[in-house]
Amino acid sequence: MAGERLETVLDRLQTTKSIEELRAWVHELRDALGVAHVFYHTANLKGEQVGIFTYDIAWIRRYVVNNYSQYDPVVLGAARRFTPMDWKSLDWSTPQARRIMREARAAGVGNQGWSVPIWGPGGQLALFVVNDEADDDRWAAFTRARAKDLLVIGHLVHQHATRIVNQDTDVVAAELSPREKQALMQLSQGQARAEVAATLQISENTLRAYIDSARHKLGAMNVTHAVAIALARGIIVPHGELPKY
Amino acid sequence: MIRFVYADELERFPLLADTMFRDRAEQFRTRLGWGVTVDGKGRERDQYDVLNPLYVIWEQADGTHGGSLRLMPTTGRTMAGEHFLHLTHGVRICSPLVWECTRFCLSPGASSRIAAALLAAGIELGLRFGLEQAIGVIYTRTLGIYRRIGHAPDVIGTDGGGRDSISICVWNLSEEARDRICARSGLSSASIERWFDDSFRGPGRGSGNAAGSLVIAA
């Protein structure tokens, strides 16, 4: 994950306790990413629509009142897709799409966008979007450098919003297999990845896949963070300590 | 050339799609003897093909299938998670940075250059979208093919012995790996990048058939 500031902001994500707090937090995320706008939306979290964004609220209201999501290439493009999308690759040729883009631009939305579709287990779609004003070359360089971060951040925001709506702030420990817990525990003791891999008798690349799975399941931004969460939640116990029964 | 095609776009490429599913029947049922489902027209499809996966397909000059692989994110349903959990030490591999590659298939008589192009194209896709690794289920005895192509995966776990032994593997996705594969098989990284751009490029962006072109990422 690039940038100390971004790490600090993502760390702060975990401390937000309500959708309102998330709405304030997303402005910090925007600034840390150095873009014009960040937008997250899901149509169905416990039957609720949740929107977290830095767009002008007047633009969002106009968008909702006019039912623009029916024609918005960004929304239509995400249907049945799991690959991130550069807005340039979307079909803006319809009159409605061109009108949406024209009005969005007037409301301060930048000309470039990158959407990350996030699919829930039941087929629910959430969308994480980063938007900026940039020429094609600069945008290509930005998305190339940040594609991984944006995948991770989009899923983190979605996981956290889901936990808030479900009023469930605890990660389910059972999601982690004994092997994942053991890997995290050894890392928490300061062992190098090569040592951990050797102990578990797996390759370092396999360990990487296991650790990244654990990171994702714990809603962590990186491995250090995953270890911290696992320790804080009692999913793993510090070296030498007996589990508290 | 390589095309990146979602399942719900295959109807735009009827010959390519038909020959892909036939070649899969030929490879997985006839040559490998797997208990796969083949329809009355000789096409092999499984339960994952209906989940709208993304295919990376080599299209021959005559428009038929030369080889292909199928990609799905591991945050959704995966073959590794649903059938081979015992090969990953009980770990459900699940991350937006790791995708699953299945049904790696070559048409009869396809050159190893096609296999190399498919692997390089898969890596290209990973680099563009920010992925770190791909996992896949392969016949253990085909490991040599990947080694010769220039990108041997790490074996996570192996089931059975002899000719029927299968393995779950993990590939790291990096520019170095892509370039190494390209260098070994005489492909240029530039052509891999162009194929990706042509598949994921928006309507009206230089493709010349803007009016009718529906684009994969759209």
Give the separation between CA A23 and CA A32, rounded to whole angstroms.
15
Those of residues 100-129 in A touching chain B at CB distance below 8 A are 118-119, 121
What is the separation, in whole angstroms, between the first and last Cα of chain B? 21
Q: Residue A69 — very low, low, confident or very high, per pLDDT cuts 50/70/90?
A: very high
Give the separation between CA B187 and CA A186, rounded to whole angstroms.
42
pLDDT tens per residue, range A199-220: 999 999 999 999 999 999 999 9
Residues 6+ apart with CB under 8 A from A78: A85, A115, A117, A125, A127
CB-CB neighbours of B52 under 10 Å: 15
Residues on chain A touching B169 (C-beta within 8 angstroms): none
Q: What is the reported pLDDT for B156?
A: 97
Is the pLDDT confidence value at B215 over 70?
no
- Break chain B into its structural domains and give their ranges: 2-200
Q: What is the mean pLDDT of chain A?
A: 91
pTM for the model: 0.92
Q: What is the reported pLDDT for B213?
A: 32
Superfamily of domain B2-200: Gcn5-related N-acetyltransferase (GNAT) (3.40.630.30)
What is the separation, in whole angstroms, between the first and last Cα of chain A? 36
Percentage, residues of chain B above pLDDT 70: 92
Residue A181 near chain B (CB below 8 Å): no
Q: Check if the beta carbon of residue A41 is closer than 8 Å to that of residue A50.
A: yes
Residues 6+ apart with CB under 8 A from A190: none
Question: CA-nearest residue of chain B to A209?
Answer: B93
Give the separation between CA A91 and CA B69, rounded to whole angstroms.
27
Q: Which residue has the higher pLDDT, B215 or A86?
A: A86
The pLDDT of A87-107, averaged and rounded, is 95
pLDDT tens per residue, range B42-88: 999 999 999 999 999 999 999 999 999 999 999 999 999 999 999 99
Query: How far B210 CA sits from the closest chain A CA (Å)?
Result: 9
The token pair that represents B70 in the structure block: 């199928």
Given the structure tokens 């979290």, which residue do they identify? A45
Question: Given B94, B130, B170, which is nearest A148 (Cβ)?
Answer: B130
Q: Residue B164 — very low, low, confident or very high, per pLDDT cuts 50/70/90?
A: confident
Q: Residue B31 — very low, low, confident or very high, per pLDDT cuts 50/70/90?
A: confident
CB within 8 Å: A202 and B75 = no
Q: Which domains, and CATH codes, for chain A?
A: 4-165 (3.30.450.80), 173-232 (1.10.10.10)
Of B121, B87, B85, which is closest to residue B101 (Cα–Cα)? B121
Burial B116-141 (b: 16+ CB within 10 A, else e): bbbbbbbbbbbbbbbbbbbbbbbebe
pLDDT tens per residue, range A142-175: 999 999 999 999 999 999 998 898 887 665 555 8
